[in-house]
Structure 1
């Protein structure tokens, strides 16, 4: 299975949890492509995902899962600088959101690849979703929980996808030029959630899949991918609530997900994270590190 992630160094905790959840719930081999960048924009520094972190996953973690994991880290800084989304630099947009829009310009990216945000946990095997027939289809995904009510191309039906889980048919995308069109739109038109909005507005052949493949609101018994998005709370007052997978205590105390649901995964996450820290400390000549 081919998986695509994007981000800078700040996503490493989420990336680790997501990768472990994939390995725990499917017995297939994973070729994972991680797009990163190294730049400063609007006085904010975006540091690349650490090569040592990826090396540890490829060597130590993969060995613990029958060598079913290989991650390739790809620096997309030059690609991003070549098509900077000028119209959206003052919005909530971050450069990392746009990196997936360069997938068609990266030769290593295979014809079928599943893009995942790094705030997603896999709970079940997703073979049915991944191997669906994509002939003539650019993208397959799930309706955005909130956005699909307000943003739509077809006024008669909801068709606005959440871009956190997207099965991408790269051969079709290269044929239609969708990603190139999206990059251009992001450079010229100011939008709310620009990359997601551009994909929805410009796609000519997208497939809407079942909620369970990108469960954004709450956990269900059939949830395959739980997506930890920001959501609204209305009592005792209207507010937003955001909890990410690496905020492991809040997953239970705030979201009220039973502790047993992700205990094994979170224990594994902390074990691997500790091992990475010890490994890095030894390489830097600091000896044993206690955390």
Structure 2
């Protein structure tokens, strides 16, 4: 199965020019010696270094192009409110660590997750934009809000759920998107025959993580603070059936408890969950 989005090394090498233009447009400086500047230089040399990079360097290049693609796809901004939010994201990306293994995470990585989740939603054909708490989705029943939280420490899940619940309650209805990538970060590209193999591995990891907090999740869902949780992570994979040697595989587990929630909350979450399933996920689940 071909990837949803294919980015060639030639395209990766062109990304820095676009990124520099975006930062200039929003009047955000790129600091010499920053992770952002290092990623720009790495991508500029992408074509020259084909086949010469170590696994660690390939993983770094892969992460850099993920960051840049998320920025580029989020840069089409119709409203002044969204432009302000996007500029704030760029400022954090420009001044904070971007290494996914940064101890205790960073504001930049949190911003990248928000932009990637926005990108993920838009690729499913939904209309969405940056806005409080993090993302606002246009749904048949009105605006649907997404609070994005990167889980740098498993000890902070309760605090993140509380904060997300308050943010959503202040706006209306919505979900909390939890990024577990810091806890499922492979040291090397995952090798598989098909994308479904990678989905299965990620899902096992995610299920193992959230099972430790199932009672907490259930109690928060029963309280009605939010409609459900999207637990997501991404990894780099080398998939035999893919034309690419550097695939990003993103997988999401959607968690709710209809027996504990109102019918309206269940219906809203069901709409969002099924709207977000891509072709590969539908095939995997037999839809």
Q: Give me the TM-score of the superposition, normalised by structure 2.
A: 0.26
Higher relative contact order by CA 8 Å / sep ≥ 6: 1 or 2?
1
TM-score for both structures, normalised by structure 1: 0.26
Whose helix fraction is larger, Structure 1's or Structure 2's? 2
